[in-house]
Amino acid sequence: MVKPVGAITRGTTNPNRLRRVDNFIAYHCGPLLKEAAQPLVVDLGYGATPVTAVELRERLADAVRVDVTVVGLEIDPVRVSAAQPFADPPWLEFRRGGFELAGLTPVVVRAFNVLRQYAEDEVAAAWRTMTATGAVLVEGTCDELGRIATWTVVEDGTPATLTLSARLPVLEHPAVFAERLPKALIHHNVPGHPVHELLRALSRAWETEATPFGPRQRWLATVRRMRAEGWPVLGGPARWRLGELTLPWPA
User: What are the tens digits of pLDDT across the range 136-193?
Assistant: 999 999 999 999 999 999 999 999 999 999 999 999 999 999 999 999 999 999 999 9
d(CA 227, CA 219): 12
* Per-residue pLDDT at 6: 59
pTM of model > 0.85: yes
CATH architecture of the region 19-165: 3-Layer(aba) Sandwich (3.40)
Cα–Cα nearest to 219, from 232, 233, 230: 233
Residues 52-84 have pLDDT tens digits of: 999 999 999 999 999 999 999 999 999 999 999
Rounded Cα distance, 56 and 106, in Å: 14
Average pLDDT over residues 221-229: 97
Whether 219 shows a pLDDT value over 60: the answer reads: yes
pLDDT in tens, 1-57: 566 665 666 656 777 899 999 999 999 999 999 999 999 999 999 988 999 999 999
What is the separation of C-alpha 48 from the centre of its chain, rounded to a whole number of angstroms? 18
Q: What is the pLDDT of residue 210?
A: 82
**What single DSSP character describes residue 116?**
G
pLDDT given at position 60? 98
Residues of the chain with CATH 3.40.50.150: 19-165
**d(Cα 140, Cα 116) in Å, to the nearest integer?**
8
How crowded is the C-beta side of 210, counted as CA atoms within 13 Å?
4
Residue 213's pLDDT band (boundaries 50, 70, 90)? confident
Residues near 172 by beta carbon (within 8 Å), at least 6 away in sequence = none
C-alpha 187/C-alpha 73 separation (Å) is 28
pLDDT on residue 11: 57
Give pLDDT, residue 1.
55
CA distances from 92 to 60, 89, 208 (A): 12, 5, 46
